[in-house]
Amino acid sequence: MQIEDAVILETRPAWEGAYITWFHAPSLSRGVEPGQFVMVHCSRERTDPMFARAFSYYRAEGERFALCYAVVGRGTRWLSEQPPGTPVRAYGPLGRGFRLPAAPSNLLLIGGGVGIAPLVETAWQAVAAGHHVVAMMGARSAAHLLPASEWPREVEYVVVTEDGSAGPRGFVTAHLGSYQAWANRIYACGPNAMFQSLADTLRGNGRRQSPEILMEENMPCGWGMCYGCAIFTRHGVRLCCKDGPRFNLFDVF
């Protein structure tokens, strides 16, 4: 774990109510596995709120990293409003990320809402390693989609919206179509309802893959000290921050 005052370089909208913020922070940007996360303090004095917030790495590149986050409360609002040059205390990288296969493979990435964030870094690393990548994003509407320009050119980007304003209408897990048969591996991140529906869908199709997923829990510390982030799995209770956030879909859902 590295601790550093990450300096905000720029913040721009990702979609309605969500932002992408780039930070300069050499020690926090090196050796990041896709799916790992960083704890970011979302207040200047670090007293209110006192605890850092967990964010997946959206990108990590050279001496810089980026987050893609939805504004859901006071911490994320504060972060989205800080001007470039603001130092923000952060520590990471933490947790266990996705394991990509050694040989070039067909990878299907499935993201629900802001759960798409870690899949973007995953796609960049996967493409660099020679994998074929299809990324599917489920969102509320066309106004809540990550722009296609955020993905590496090699990635096929498929969008599904709940209201049908872009792509097919409904939940992303109802539109896996032929991609499921094509994929050697599936990686997913999103709300628990999406994981449940993915598990149900794959069970119905004979469970050809056992997806790796990234889960979320309240994380006061992020490094295995507080036991606040417990996740109950078929193999017993696990800490999301330390044993995860990567889990096997069928161990939990």
Partner 1 sequence: MPVTPDLSVDLAPGHKRGLLLRNPVMPASGTFSWGFEFEHHFGPEGIRRLGAVVSKGVTMEPRAGNRQPRVAETPAGMLNSIGLQNVGIEACVRDLAPQWARWETPVIVNVAGDTIDEFGEMARMLDGVPGVAALELNISCPNVDTGGMEIGQSVEASARATSAAVRNTDLPVIVKLTPNVTDPVALARACEAEGAAAICAINTVLGMAIDVDRRRPVLPRARGGLSGPAIKPIALRIVYDVAGAVRIPVIGCGGIATSRDALEFLMAGASAVQVGTATFANPRALLDVVEGLEAWCAAEGVARIADIIGCARPAPVA
Q: What is the contact surface with ligand FES in residues (CB under 6 A)?
A: 219-222, 224-229, 239-242
CA–CA gap between residue 71 and residue 78 (Å, rounded) = 9
Q: Rounded distance, CA 136 to CA 133, Å?
A: 10
Question: Segment contacting ligand FAD (CB under 6 A): 84-92, 148-156, 196-204, 213-221?
Answer: 213-221
Scanning residues 113 to 172, which ones bind ligand FAD (CB under 6 A)?
Answer: 114, 117
Q: In whole angstroms, how close is the CB of 242 to partner 1 at the nearest point?
A: 7
Which does residue 210 bind out of ligand FES, ligand FAD, partner 1, none, counting CB within 5 to 8 angstroms by kind?
none
Phi and psi, residue 155, nearest 5°: -85, 135
The pair of structure tokens assigned to 109 is 């990435």
The one segment of 78-86, 142-150, 207-215, 235-243 that binds partner 1 by CB under 8 A: 235-243
For partner 1, the binding residues in 12-31 under the rule CB under 8 A are none
Using rule CB under 6 A, residue 34 touches ligand FAD = no
Residue 220 in contact with partner 1, rule: CB under 8 A: yes
Interaction of residue 72 with partner 1, rule CB under 8 A? no
Alpha helices in 9-145 (DSSP H): 26-29, 74-81, 117-128
Minimum distance between the CB of residue 205 and ligand FAD, rounded to whole angstroms?
A: 28
Question: 127: which 2 tokens?
Answer: 């493409």
| Tokens representing residue 177 in the block | 């179509």
Q: Is 191 in the site for partner 1 (CB under 8 A)?
A: no
Q: What is the DSSP letter of 164?
A: S
Gap between the Cα atoms of 41 and 22, Å rounded: 15
